[in-house]
Structure 1
């Protein structure tokens, strides 16, 4: 093959190979290119000018967007350092990513020529971008799920939704919710620049959403379908602006692209999220809409759960308030003043129930100069227990007025329970207190813990006659015991919720309660209750607590305490 034949053969070969070849001189002027390069670069010049000294009339840097970087690559290549980098060429059919390998060849002029080998790597670059985007999207949705699940508070969840949106998907976001009356309210806003969040509020105020308007948010609420506004130009803003003020605010915020996605959970449209890009470099596409829709789906489920939790919480609060009101009606509104005695009470309901507790106490005059003291515990909780408590309390009061002995009073309570309260029973300690220099206390306990007596010298003992529960048998065995309280002695009536605090594993027990009371010598009745309450709180927090607790303390005052009280009373009258 002759040299001319070889050159011609080489020229045809270069025209048909599937890579682009461009030759440039040392100044970057394009000398020649093959057909593949012409197709890659959208050039339609001569097909066979590969080593011609006459340039094609263009500079290689005119072919790509990053002129400065390409100039550097050419300079380094002519200095002997081959380079391969990717550049963007934007043509009529959109941007193309072209990998350019540059090598200096010492032919032609003294400086030689630069051989640029071009490969269209647009598909590879786009695939890499798609993969990276998919990874970022997955990470975002994973993070979003974790953030949304942190709280069941409704307002906190709303704020989290908008905050997550601006962290990845948009420059600013609004969330509108549908109220029970059908009104659309702006629930939360967020902006990458917090200083502009007030502008979003102004925008809402100047353009309130209305179900009657067939645009934007109301339309998405009705249809349940997302809407994508890939590109929003000035003309569109002017056409949709409802006022010059609205246009001014939107212009200041920036609105280049927008997505409106519904918040749907369990078939109910709770609201919509509006995500806006104010960055001219970002235009939303259907892939963005898909991610926004997934965020909206997860947010809607969490908002639905938060709304349910809020409703349950409100119901619990309502029931708790009702239980407190009913419970107060079953206890003395305030303790009466007993001559020569210091009295105080403590009531702590169970920590895990909203129902009315079964524990109750009472302190009242019996009409014969004596006083009646009641501490009871009805089986169960709730309305039935409350009815039984009321029956027992008023039966006790009525019969204590006419019967002298505690056992006789308790027999009447037993009779009333059998007659009026099916499947309900209770334990009770009832005492008659006669006052003098001290106090004579006659106590009968029907299946109830005996009250504890704190003697003035520090000894703690139990007192009272033992007997059977009330409401189970027609003629329960009951007994009574009379004790005398001296000045500074105290008697503590209580329910088993005290001794069973911490059950089942770490129960305080009767002995533990005795130790608590042994440290109460010399305390007032109020101080004794406070000490017991402090112990209860500790056992509740550290060891568990599942029952109601009631305490009623009667302490005989000393002569010195009485005189001091009389002086204070006279001083208050002056």
Structure 2
């Protein structure tokens, strides 16, 4: 062990506390028990100081610990120190006095007799009229935590045994300080984590309230965009449905519309806007009204979608697009001119028996490419023909990794071939929802029409 020997008088006899080996071991054991049994640092420091003062047969001493916030040594507990010393030395710099030297050098500071100089510790002499006997660093392998300092009426030299004793006790106190600070850090971390969790929960509640309000507004907007009733047409029955996904889901952009254009023509629109929420409901309204305006000007399917596509590309972000089915039926001839842009192919059930899908080239949804060109196809609808137009939420109803798919739709169409149009649509929706375990992941819009008489 290294002892600081400042102008030591090696002729002086080593000081002895008068304790035998058994008593020293008892004191060390008492300190060890205190360290092991208590995580209250104040209790450990108090007991440790009492025991070390007993071992060294002194009546004055104190324990300093480093303050992690100010980088000073702060007096934590003491015995027999004068009020003047406590007031003046409550906190000291890390290099100040005997205690500061022991902390800075990580070594025991031991005072030796200096008859010609009187007291070696000027602060102790000035404030208490006694001298520093020993200052020992309180440390662990990780760091130095503080200093234990003992005072005596006169300077005296320590033996190696006594230096060993105070080092053992100091190291035990170091373990206690380390444990206490680790415990406190852990407790503070738990408290911080709890606070963060509470803040997160509060934020989530606010977000859910906001999303709920937004979803409610979007749902109102979405419903306001739908016609209250399908048009009543001679010789043609129309059924339409919009089924929102689960209550937890955002409101989507599925919609449908009917436009009575005059000249015995009716436009049928079914669309799906990418995304959800208020922004999508707004885009839905813009797309619907744009198509309506162009349809009134020129009831040509290709022209309507080409012009609407350029408007939507100019007015929306690239990530937003509108999948559309647009069909215009001539009520006098039952010829349907149609275009499919990004939507699933509709089903056509001829005379209630033969099931096919409408022919259509591969065309992009509106809003992706401003130079896209949209061409139309036509088909003549005959008596008892049924057309089923739907958004992708229907065939993408999922059970684990399995999709309801077009096969699921075809199965119901065959089973319900003799049912009314409303029954067919409702049965298909019920089957898709049941397939998905009662919860649809996406909105579903359906428009279906059935011809009751041949054209004139």
TM-score (norm 2): 0.51
Residue 349 (structure 1) shift: 1.4
- Aligned counterpart for 2:322 among listed residues 426, 442, 454: 426
Tell me the equivalent position of 1:360: 255
Residue 368 (structure 1) shift: 2.5
Residue 545 (structure 1) shift: 3.0
Residue 455 (structure 1) shift: 1.6
Q: Deviations over 1:134-159 (max 9, x none)?
A: xxxxxxxxxxxxxxxxxxxxxxxxxx
Q: Which 4+ residue blocks in structure 1 deviate beyond 4 angstroms? A: 305-320
Alignment partner of 1:336 is 2:234: no
- Describe the SS at the equivalent of 2:262: coil
Q: Considering only aligned residues, what root-mean-square deviation do their CA atoms show, in Å?
A: 3.0
- Aligned counterpart for 1:412 among listed residues 284, 299, 307: 307
Is the 8 Å Cα contact of residues 361 and 375 (structure 1) preserved in structure 2?
A: yes
Is the 8 Å Cα contact of residues 346 and 389 (structure 2) preserved in structure 1?
A: yes
Tell me the equivalent position of 1:460: 355
User: When the two structures are aligned, how many residues end up with a matched partner?
Assistant: 256
Q: Deviations over 1:417-475 (max 9, x none)?
A: 11111221111110010113x62111101121121112224111111433222111122
- Describe the SS at the equivalent of 1:500: coil
- Cα distance in 1 for partners of 2:236, 2:391 equals 22
Tell me the equivalent position of 1:469: 365
Alignment partner of 1:376 is 2:271: yes
Cα gap change, 1:353 to 1:413, in 2 (>3 Å): farther
Residue 323 (structure 1) shift: 3.1
**What are structure 2's unaligned runs of at least 5 residues?**
1-199
Q: State how 1:547-566 maps to structure 2 within 5 Å.
A: 547-558=442-453
Q: Deviations over 1:372-398 (max 9, x none)?
A: 011111111112211211111011111
Is the 8 Å Cα contact of residues 452 and 491 (structure 1) preserved in structure 2?
A: yes
- Cα distance in 2 for partners of 1:477, 1:504 equals 38
Is the 8 Å Cα contact of residues 524 and 555 (structure 1) preserved in structure 2?
A: no
- Aligned counterpart for 1:401 among listed residues 282, 291, 296: 296
TM-score (norm 1): 0.41
- Aligned counterpart for 1:447 among listed residues 342, 345, 356: 342
Cα gap change, 1:431 to 1:504, in 2 (>3 Å): farther
Q: State how 1:143-542 maps to structure 2 within 5 Å.
A: 318-351=213-246, 353-423=248-318, 424-436=320-332, 439-466=334-361, 467-502=363-398, 505-541=401-437
- Cα distance in 1 for partners of 2:372, 2:208 equals 44
Is the 8 Å Cα contact of residues 352 and 546 (structure 1) preserved in structure 2?
A: no
Cα gap change, 1:512 to 1:477, in 2 (>3 Å): farther
Q: Deviations over 1:13-71 (max 9, x none)?
A: xxxxxxxxxxxxxxxxxxxxxxxxxxxxxxxxxxxxxxxxxxxxxxxxxxxxxxxxxxx
Residue 320 (structure 1) shift: 4.6
**What are structure 1's unaligned runs of at least 5 residues?**
1-304, 560-574
- Cα distance in 2 for partners of 1:497, 1:344 equals 18
Cα gap change, 1:336 to 1:312, in 2 (>3 Å): same
Is the 8 Å Cα contact of residues 406 and 442 (structure 1) preserved in structure 2?
A: yes
Residue 503 (structure 1) shift: 6.2
Is the 8 Å Cα contact of residues 217 and 278 (structure 2) preserved in structure 1?
A: no
